[in-house]
Amino acid sequence: MPPAPLPVILDVDTGVDDACALLLAARHPALDLRAVTCVAGNAPLDLVVANTLTVLDVAGRHEVPVAAGAGRPLLEDPADARHVHGRDGMGDLGRPRSARVPQPVHAVELLRSQLMAAARTGEPITLIPLAPLTNIALLLRTYPAVAQGISRVLFMGGSASTGNATASAEFNVFHDPEAAAIVLDACAALGVPVTMYGLDVFYEPQVTAAQAGELIAADPAGPAGLAGELIAYQCARFESQSATIGDAGAVCAAIAPGGIVTRTLPVRVELSGRHTRGRTVVDQRDPLTHDPHGRPDAVVDVAVDVDGAAFSRLWLDTVGFHTVGGGC
């Protein structure tokens, strides 16, 4: 008998690559997608919610509860990334808007009810934030008891090397550094394991423009077609023959943890440097014998390598119903 599907919740700022992640989580039989929560990031919150509902509609997952959360970072001014993700935040693909509305509760309340229910049934949930960590910081500080219902936080964000929003900082952490620092601190205090799927691996799983074309041809109006359009948008935007599946790689890591190599390392979030604010300072000293700042509380499983080809194939097979050939 196959193992029971892994219960997961995604926290998203949909977002072209969040949409790739949602399609995978919505359609892969090894995952039980319990809820999706939304936060401002790649686009303003209203667009993030609309895009998320559209993707779930296309994926045929109308029953998955969706809630809107924080409309801005804790301290930073909001600054979206529509210069990358399009005016509507999801590639301006012109897909029909969902008729569905989000749950009449804040994302933090939806997370709380789902996680406490999971704690009661003894079936903790893998929480997969793919966006600025504002909702998750508010959740863990407001309702720390939800930790009993979380098996792991597997987040897309940060970097042990270079940034993308700035030379130092990755977008999700840069957008709300205080939230990221709070989440790492709270997880350490509450004993919640954390995996960081950061920029060190983010760009590795690639899908070609030709494969995107095959997806679109296979099922233009359905999930494969949307998946192909999302990749095609990125290829055109970056004038490239392939594009990353981005946030979807973190979902792949939940489905196939053997596809990433992790190192368990101390991580701090830089909150003050003018040019380094939002950097995840990953301490790779070996041996680490002394630090004048003291040892960081947060020790994180940092993804340092990924089987990009395997993750691309996993994504293509799931969203494309095994219709797409070729390698990358």
The binder of ligand BDR chosen from 8, 31, 42, 314 (CB under 6 A) = 42
Q: Is 96 helix (H, G, I), strand (E, B) or coil?
A: coil
Task: Look at residue 70 and give its three-state secondary structure.
Answer: coil
Size of the site for ligand BDR (CB under 6 A): 14
**What is the token pair recorded at 304?**
């340092």
The answer to whether residue 15 forms part of the interface with Ca ion (CB under 5 A) is yes
Pick the closest to residue 300 from 197, 178, 149, 163 (CA basis). 197
Scored b (16 or more CB within 10 A) or e, 123-151 reads: ebbbbbbbbbbbbbbbbbeebeebbbbbb
| Residue from the set 90, 130, 146, 147 that interacts with ligand BDR by CB under 6 A | 130
Q: Which of 58, 118, 130, 150 binds Ca ion (CB under 5 A)?
A: 130
Query: Which of 229, 247, 270, 301 is the binder for ligand BDR (CB under 6 A)?
Result: 247
Our CB check for Ca ion shows the closer of 41 and 266 to be 41
Residue 200 binding ligand BDR, by CB under 6 A = no
Q: Applying CB under 6 A, does 171 fall inside the site for ligand BDR? A: yes
246 binds ligand BDR (CB under 6 A): yes
Smallest gap from residue 23 Cβ to ligand BDR (A) = 14
Question: Is residue 81 near ligand BDR by the rule CB under 6 A?
Answer: yes
Residues in Cβ contact with 328 at an 8 Å cutoff, skipping those fewer than 6 apart: 206, 207, 208, 211, 242, 308, 309, 312
- Of 124 and 157, CB closest to ligand BDR: 157
Of 171 and 315, which CB lies nearer to ligand BDR in the complex structure? Answer: 171
User: Site size for Ca ion, by CB under 5 A?
Assistant: 6
Binding track, positions 246-285, relative to Ca ion; x by CB under 5 A: -x--------------------------------------
Q: For every residue of 140-179, which 3-state class applies, written as one string?
A: HHHCHHHHHHEEEEEEECCCCCCCCCCCCCCHHHHHCHHH
Q: Does 214 bind ligand BDR (CB under 6 A)?
A: no
Q: How far is CA 42 from the centre of its chain?
A: 12
Which residues, 131 to 150, sit near Ca ion by CB under 5 A?
A: 131
Q: Amino acid identity of 120?
A: R
Residues 6+ apart with CB under 8 A from 109: 67
Q: Which is nearer to ligand BDR, 113 or 159 (CB)?
A: 159
> What is the Cα–Cα distance from 306 to 266, expressed in whole angstroms?
20
